[in-house]
Amino acid sequence: MLSQRCVDLGTAPSVIRELFEYGKLRAKEVGADKVFDFSIGNPSVPPPHEVQETLARLLTTVDPLTLHGYTSAQGDLAVREQLAASLSKRFGHEYTASQLYLTVGAAAALCCVFHALTVPGDEYILFAPYFPEYKVFIEGAGARVNILPPQYPDFQIDLNALEAAVNEHTKAVLINSPNNPSGAVYTPETLNALGKLLEDKSRQYGHPIYLISDEPYRELTYDSVTTPWTPDFYRDTIVCYSYSKSLSLPGERIGYVLVGRSVTDSETVYAAVAGAGRTLGYVNAPSLFQRVAATCDGLRADVGVYAENRRLLTEELGKLGYDTAHPPQGTFYYFLPTLEPDDVAFCQQAKALDLLLVPGSGFGAPGYARLSFCVPTDRIRGAIPGFHALAQRYGR
């Protein structure tokens, strides 16, 4: 008798992972240059040079017992002070070390927050399209998930649907902007309306409804778009962040939870996050990369390649008859309307042409396919004939 939920989670096939493995096998059969794998969101541009320089400096100048030693459970104090100063400067608040809890990436940050906040009967609301692991994390913390349908085609928030969904059991609303997979960045107008709605509902139900803002793609935006700072729009915002995408360090697992002092009972919420980390076995975030993150906060890998890939896709797929009217404003995902309503069937057609795309229905948004464009630009160029053939199958 084992935990059936854990067995299921450990054996459940992941659509994305299976596609990725298929791509590797297929590349062996027909040659790597003939398979176009757009399945996985693994950064393809190296970390900013400051990351390498910081690593080299730390490893040669800091006593290894300090550098690799235990830190405080919430993160090294000097690291948190440095990071608080950086965030304060970047976003115009006065954050302090005592509001930051360093984590083993954004997944850990989210798990700590869900476990900290959840009491039996709680419900979390999130918006499709959404990152499927959210459901795993929230249910793991013992809460229910209510997923609201996507607002096509701009993938902002359907406030009427949210208004109808919030109830006395709503513990928090979870947002992810820039959004994986839609690429949408919530506008100040969306966030303003969201903040107002949550204020009203918090008053109505007599307890704060938290806004959990998962922002690993915060710095990955295009053209003139910047990601608004969510706590500016709603006091009870808890920020979860990871350096995986901005610094191209997804394997190193470093991120943070920020509980600003505007959050109701912020010190107790912070303590609960730390307590959750403790019971989940997160002793401290990896110590070397705590220091790297603090030093490199606010930098981002050179997104020129991503921007060029996005431009190429918009232009070339548009010419072929795909709907590219809503290119992503952020992230490195292109969320493309499929050429038939059944996105799974469409992705099968694409797969037969060695184009590996992820069906949108896996993210709760049927009729779309996710194309991860964090690949070398020549992979985009090489895939265009395949997209041409695919369009032809649909009579374009």
Q: How far is the CB of 163 from a second copy (least distance, A)?
A: 22
CA pair distance 369, 356, nearest whole angstrom? 10
Residues 334 to 393: which contact a second copy by CB under 8 A? none
Q: How many residues bind a second copy (CB under 8 A)?
A: 79
Q: How far is the CB of 354 from a second copy (least distance, A)?
A: 23
Q: How far is the CB of 218 from a second copy (least distance, A)?
A: 18
With respect to a second copy, which residue has the nearer C-beta, 46 or 188?
46
Q: How far is the CB of 27 from a second copy (least distance, A)?
A: 16
Residues 34 to 93: which contact a second copy by CB under 8 A? 40, 42-47, 51-52, 55-56, 59, 63-65, 67-71
With respect to a second copy, which residue has the nearer C-beta, 289 or 335?
289
Q: How far is the CB of 177 from a second copy (least distance, A)?
A: 20
Name which position in 23, 105, 231, 359 contacts a second copy (CB under 8 A).
105
Residues 107 to 166: which contact a second copy by CB under 8 A? 107-112, 115-119, 133, 136-137, 139-140
Written in H, E and C, the secondary structure of the chain is: CCCHHHHHHHHCCCHHHHHHHHHHHHHHHHCHHHCEECCCCCCCCCCCHHHHHHHHHHHHHCCHHHHCCCCCCCCCHHHHHHHHHHHHHHHCCCCCHHHEEEECHHHHHHHHHHHHHCCCCCEEEEECCCCCHHHHHHHHCCCEEEEECCCCCCCCCCHHHHHHHCCCCEEEEEEECCCCCCCCCCCHHHHHHHHHHHHHHHHHHCCCCEEEEECCCCCCECCCCCCCCHHHCCCCEEEEEECCCCCCCHHHCCEEEEECCCCCCHHHHHHHHHHHHHHCCCCCCCHHHHHHHHHHCCCCCCCHHHHHHHHHHHHHHHHCCCCCCCCCCECCEEEEECCCCCHHHHHHHHHHCCEECEEHHHHCCCCEEEEECCCCHHHHHHHHHHHHHHHHHCCC
Q: How far is the CB of 372 from a second copy (least distance, A)?
A: 12
With respect to a second copy, which residue has the nearer C-beta, 79 or 357?
79
With respect to a second copy, which residue has the nearer C-beta, 71 or 156?
71
Q: Is 24 a binder of a second copy (CB under 8 A)?
A: no
Residues 166 to 185: which contact a second copy by CB under 8 A? none
Residues 235 to 294: which contact a second copy by CB under 8 A? 248-253, 265, 268-276, 278-289
Residues 189 to 218: which contact a second copy by CB under 8 A? 207
With respect to a second copy, which residue has the nearer C-beta, 110 or 147?
110
With respect to a second copy, which residue has the nearer C-beta, 55 or 161?
55
Q: How far is the CB of 388 from a second copy (least distance, A)?
A: 30
Name which position in 2, 13, 25, 29 contacts a second copy (CB under 8 A).
2
